[in-house]
Amino acid sequence: MDYDPEVWQRTVFEALRPIDPDAQFNVGLAELDFRDVLGHSPGDFPAADLAAFVDAWLGGLDPNGGDATTEWKGGGVRLVIRAKGRGKSWRGWKDMPSFNQLEPAIGDLHLTTGEPLQVNDMDREQVGRLGSGDLTVVGQGASYRDTFQGMAEEMDHFGWKAVADMPEPVMQTYAAMLGLTTASPGLGNYDTGWRALNRTLPND
């Protein structure tokens, strides 16, 4: 059959959906290489072998450790797989699949004091200081303080001591609201929407 990258991508994604049955990790793909698939068929892809490989690899990782990567090859496909432990408050949450092929890279915040700050490294105190205005971000939009205040309130409500304790989709949502990820199609610009809802002029 003719090479169809969408079919191959869907085949790989479906093979990875059942991984990590204990829901201890967040797993994504750092590389997805189809250059050697000619002569192979998606119908013959070793999906069970891939899932078993990933589960065995995850079984040797510490969810409290840092990011880890591994490489897998099979059926003409080469993958570089990245994993990191879930926040303690949502480990074991099996309704949230561990494989997230859409995980975007998150940029750094740059404080007006000069140092960069990664969202995932912030603790509750730093989030609160950003919400109160005690800490400020270079190019800070009108919605930034509201966003950090919302983060702080949600962290207090669920007992999250650090942003890393948040479920990945929640953290990704806040990162998008801060303009640190690429917005999903159709979502629009959060800061523009916030200004419209709050009747705030663009330059205020």
Q: List per-residue pLDDT tens for the chain, 204 residues long.
A: 567 888 998 999 999 999 999 999 989 888 889 888 888 999 999 999 999 999 999 999 999 988 899 999 999 999 999 998 987 777 888 877 888 754 556 778 889 988 888 888 899 999 999 999 999 998 887 788 999 999 999 999 989 899 988 877 788 788 888 888 754 433 344 444 444 444 444 444
> Is the pTM value of this prediction over 0.75?
no
Q: Note whether 45 and 77 are within 8 A (CB).
A: yes
What is the structure's pLDDT at 120? 82
The number of CA neighbours under 13 Å toward the Cβ of 6 is 0
- Per-residue pLDDT, 31: 86
Longest Cα–Cα distance in the chain: 61
Q: Which two tokens stand for residue 140?
A: 């800070």
- Tokens for 61? 């990782």
CB 202 within 8 A of CB 196: no
pLDDT in the model for residue 197? 41
